[in-house]
Amino acid sequence: MSRIVYLNDRLVPEEQARVSVFDHGLLYGDGVFEGMRAYSGRVFRMQAHLDRLWDSARAIALEIPIGKEALAHAVDETLAANQLPDGYVRLVITRGAGTLGLDPARTKNPQVIIIADTISLYPRELYDRGLRIVTAATQRSHPATLSPRIKSLNYLNNIMAKLEGQQAGCVEALMLNHKGEVAECTADNVFAVRRGIVLTPPPDAGILEGITRGAVMDLAKTAGIDCREATLTRHDLYTADEMFITGTAAEVVPVVEIDGRKIGDGIPGPITKRLAADFHAHVRGG
């Protein structure tokens, strides 16, 4: 089905949504993005996504050529034009077309792209049965190289890990940081549950601070479940009672096996199920 895409200041049919081959977003991965979801016509935590987009842009010294309010309005318009009350929105800001050579100063016209579509990451049964994952040998990029806190157009670090997961017959892979600690999955944050306490790595573990992660931490608090940031090792996951991952596209997904070790009883645990249910109620209920 042909989509209507927002490109710069207007909505156009996808066939007309064209970006230059000289755009540094394409040539060098020079740009930033966000992935968000709409439920019943409303984008979940849009402000948090926009704030993170602006932080990512600031970190790479890219000025977004539209205001936050105008962009929020354009997102709503794009969803409406595609008649997608429940959908996925990809916001992309590229550095713009330039000359060959890295120099961002020789680019102009950063491109503002909004795509509204549907997304489904994993088959439905994996949400009921839980994922099997492996640890990738590819580590999450060192914060002193490209900070994982920047949602940049250069996702090769994560894609390398995703390939390793697929080579092992899994749909996801765990990434460790440069210290060998648990960081995150390729596009999802990681949680472990041990003795009733929910644990997730802190931002300085070299992760993208997920919006879904934040929502799940809030929901745990509301439910009276102890939830903390903690440095985790693979050992902590191997010996956890439950594990799950969170992300805009994935939502909340149980993990039941890692590196050939069953987690807990090898089935989605009660706290995972509770938080997944609370998350679904939360996003659909407002």
DSSP per position, 163-188: HHHHHTT-S-EEEE-TTS-EEEESSS
Q: Which stretch binds ligand PXG (CB under 6 A): 74-82, 103-111, 206-214, 262-270?
A: 206-214
Question: What is the CB neighbour count within 10 angstroms for residue 75?
Answer: 22
Instruction: For residue 117, give the nearest of 87, 144, 93, 80 by alpha carbon.
Output: 87
Q: Does 114 bind ligand PXG (CB under 6 A)?
A: no
Rule CB under 6 A: which of 139-198 touch ligand PXG?
Answer: 158, 184, 187-189
With CB under 6 A as the contact rule, which of the stretches 4-12, 66-74, 210-218, 222-230 interacts with ligand PXG? Answer: 210-218
232-251 binders of ligand PXG (CB under 6 A): 246-249
Tell me whether residue 123 or residue 196 sits nearer to ligand PXG (CB atom).
123
Least distance (Å) from ligand PXG to the CB of residue 212?
Answer: 3
- Strand segments, DSSP code E, in the chain are 4-7, 10-13, 31-39, 42-43, 87-94, 97-98, 107-108, 112-117, 131-135, 173-176, 182-185, 189-194, 197-200, 227-229, 242-247, 251-258, 261-262
What is the rounded distance in angstroms from the CA atom of residue 85 to the CA atom of residue 134? 35
Q: Report how far residue 190's alpha carbon sits from residue 16's, in angstroms, rounded to the nearest whole number.
A: 39
Q: Which residue among 68, 108, 151, 162 is the active-site one?
A: 151
User: Smallest distance from the beta carbon of 144 to ligand PXG, in angstroms?
Assistant: 17
Distance (Å, whole) CA 134 – CA 123: 18
Which listed residue (210, 264, 268, 269) binds ligand PXG by CB under 6 A? 210
Q: Residue 53: how many CA atoms within 13 Å on its side-chain side?
A: 26
Residue number, 158 or 272, with CB nearest to ligand PXG: 158
Question: Rounded to the nearest whole angstrom, what is the least distance from the CB of residue 251 to ligand PXG in the complex?
Answer: 9
Where do we find the tokens 């019943």? 40
Of 97 and 153, nearer to ligand PXG (C-beta) is 153
Return the number of the residue (31 or 247) whose C-beta is nearest ligand PXG: 247
Q: Which is nearer to ligand PXG, 56 or 246 (CB)?
A: 246
State the nearest-atom distance from the C-beta of 213 to ligand PXG, in Å: 6
CB of 214 to ligand PXG, least distance (A): 8
Q: How far is the CB of 180 from ligand PXG (least distance, A)?
A: 18
Given the complex with ligand PXG, which of 109 and 209 has the nearer CB atom? 209
Task: Assess contact for 268 and 129: CB atoms under 8 A.
Answer: yes
**C-alpha pair distances (Å), 197 with each of 32, 64, 252, 266, 267:** 34, 40, 17, 18, 18
- Is 25 an interacting residue with respect to ligand PXG (CB under 6 A)? no
Active-site residue flag, 151? yes
Indicate the length of the chain as a whole number. Answer: 286
Binding site for ligand PXG (CB under 6 A): 35, 158, 184, 187-189, 208, 210-213, 246-249
Give catalytic residues, as residue numbers.
Answer: 151
